Structure 1
Amino acid sequence: MLARLILAAVFLVSGAIKAWDARETIVAVRAYQLLPESLVGTVAAVLPYFEIALGLLLLIGLATRLAAVLAAVVMVIFVAAVISAAARGLSIDCGCFGGGGEVAAGQTAYTAEILRDLALFLLAGYLVIRPDTPLSVDRFVHRRAADPA
């Protein structure tokens, strides 16, 4: 349950911060220089609400395995994006919890960001394998379905 709640908190907080300041989210997405300009606005608009939706599913424990798979995929994408930025010599803030965009040379936190996202990937992987957690909608639904009323 702790893995589920940690992931839920991370996605809810990061999604809410990005949704609150859409302009900053656009700057963060653009800073990675991975997408054509025509997609930057769309990704910046959808990403916060996708993160919030994942966070809500994980918080209540509904479709936990699916939410965990999607969370793991998101973490892989985020890690790949940060590695790409580092490999190309970009000096950017990841924009993971708001902010984003260029920072002064030497002010990046790529290693910490990668390690954090890998830890979150491991939590998601655990939930893919063991999605049944206490206090979840999934558990309630499974128990109701198993009850021979």
Structure 2
Amino acid sequence: MQHPVRSRLLFDLIGTAARLGLTAVWFLSGFAKAADPRQTLVAVQGYQVLPDGLARSVAAVLPYLEIALGLLLLLGMVTRYAALASGLLLLVFIAGVISAAARGLSIDCGCFGGGGQVSAGATAYTAEILRDTGFLVLAVWLVIRPRTWLSIDALARRNQDFDDVEDEQDVDDTSFSHGVRRSGR
């Protein structure tokens, strides 16, 4: 049987790796898209699911949404919610690739820049779906267990634990000063 402290440390390590892995994904993807907004629009339009105006809005916002998710995850700030948003976005991406494959489109997903039409047979839909599913697993891990090292969440949790200890001491001091005897003392 594994020691509980070792299990917690192992799970914290896995969570930290998942958090930093997703950070890298969102930074690589978001910065590549932000660097070439015209190509990002071509990639979004390539899926042929959004009207032109909405495709333009998605292409304009998507890189910065990805960068924001990467920043939240890098800092370990509201990790569970950033992971939940990451998971939902990854599900949209996976659905988009499945939809493109099912409709016989020949496009590059544009996941890390680029995108748009490619020659027939030059698609990598299966690899893209498997890759994004792997990223989704990282996001799900963090939704279920957002506790990680080197994070603002950990600092906040540590401060909350410290405040709770102080509150307990205040209650103990108040109880003692009013002559209330607590059991076990």
- TM-score, scaled to structure 2: 0.80
The whole-number CA distance in structure 1 between the counterparts of 2:52 and 2:29 is 23
Matched, 1:143 2:149: no
Deviation at 1:146, TM superposition (A): 1.2
The 5-angstrom pairing of residues 121-132 of structure 1 reads 121-132=136-147
Q: Residue deviations 1:84-111, cap 9 Å, x none?
A: 0000000000000000000000000000
Instruction: Report the counterpart of residue 23 of structure 2 in structure 1.
Output: 8
Instruction: Report the counterpart of residue 34 of structure 2 in structure 1.
Output: 19
Identity %: 60
Instruction: Report the counterpart of residue 29 of structure 1 in structure 2.
Output: 44
The whole-number CA distance in structure 1 between the counterparts of 2:46 and 2:97 is 11
The whole-number CA distance in structure 2 between the counterparts of 1:18 and 1:144 is 38
Instruction: Report the counterpart of residue 134 of structure 1 in structure 2.
Output: 149
Partner of residue 70 from structure 2, selected from 51, 55, 58: 55
Which structure 1 residue ranges, 4+ long, deviate > 2 Å from structure 2? Answer: none
Instruction: Report the counterpart of residue 108 of structure 2 in structure 1.
Output: 93
The whole-number CA distance in structure 1 between the counterparts of 2:151 and 2:64 is 22
| Paired residue total | 149
The whole-number CA distance in structure 2 between the counterparts of 1:10 and 1:120 is 8
- TM-score, scaled to structure 1: 0.98
Letter of the 2:51 partner, please give it: P
- Stretches of structure 2 lacking an aligned partner (at least 5 in a row): 1-15, 167-185
The whole-number CA distance in structure 2 between the counterparts of 1:62 and 1:113 is 28
- Stretches of structure 1 lacking an aligned partner (at least 5 in a row): none
Deviation at 1:31, TM superposition (A): 0.3
Deviation at 1:38, TM superposition (A): 1.4
Instruction: Report the counterpart of residue 90 of structure 2 in structure 1.
Output: 75
Letter of the 2:101 partner, please give it: A
How large is the RMSD of aligned CA atoms in angstroms?
0.6
